[in-house]
Amino acid sequence: MDNSKSAAMKGVWRNDLWSTEILITIFMSVNIVDLAVASLVCKMWNTACRDPSLWGKIDLSTLNNSYFFNIPNNQPGAYKRTSGKITQFLKTPNLKQLVLPRKGDFSRKAVHMAMKSWGGLESINISSGVPTDYIFPAIHEYCKSVNGIKFHCEFEEKHAEALIESTPNLKVFSIRSTVVSMKALRSVLTSVEHLEAVNIYHSFIMDMSHDEFSIFAIQDLRKYLPPSKGYLL
């Protein structure tokens, strides 16, 4: 009798393990909102949703703007409401790559709460949806392992200063489809010690000085680099 019970229990365990593996495979194809909802269905689904393989990257840019971080900071209870939405993504300590949403209103406290829980973050895509004076102090304080940053918003001197101060171990720096300050680029290229690669895609490099407007190409940028860093571009 005992042997039959033991065999039955082993069979149940194998079935649960097999079912969990199937669920993980299925969940790899859903977005993070559906994944968060799926975790509430039952214990087995919750276990599958917590698998580290599902949370190596979170792409918040895929979320509907009406869902995420669209609560103005000056409204009563804004922090409580934005924080309530972000908590469903906080139990992801293995997160390595984060893509921020393109639009939305963030509270400073919510941003810091999120970044504090993602201390192992290595790569982050910056967008205009999150104020840089919120995100960079949080990166500096909590995310010491960040070595890759991509900008999807304008890149000016204030952004360069924040980046240099907050990510001293930066190795990969990318800018895509935006307006870029030549002075800001030069500052990053000459100040970040460990930089290994710079990728600039479909961007407009310009500068204003003494009421003069100048446009630059990548080739022009190379002229301002010391010989030791000419390979970056």
When computed from its CA atoms, the radius of gyration of the chain, rounded to whole angstroms, is 22
Q: Which two tokens stand for residue 81?
A: 């409401």
Name the residue among 58, 126, 43, 62 with its Cα closest to residue 88: 58
Q: What are phi and psi of 18, to 5 degrees?
A: -65, -45
Name the residue among 180, 222, 219 with its Cα closest to residue 202: 180
pLDDT tens, residue by residue, 73-99 = 444 444 444 444 555 556 666 788 999
Q: Which residue did the predictor score with more confidence, 27 or 68?
A: 27
Cα separation, 206 vs 171, in Å, equals 24
| % of the chain at pLDDT higher than 90 | 26
Domains of the chain are 1-51 (no CATH), 52-232 (3.80.10)
pTM for the structure as a whole: 0.71
Average pLDDT, rounded, for the chain: 77
The DSSP secondary-structure symbol of 131 reads -
pLDDT of residue 15: 52
pLDDT tens, residue by residue, 51-61 = 877 777 887 77
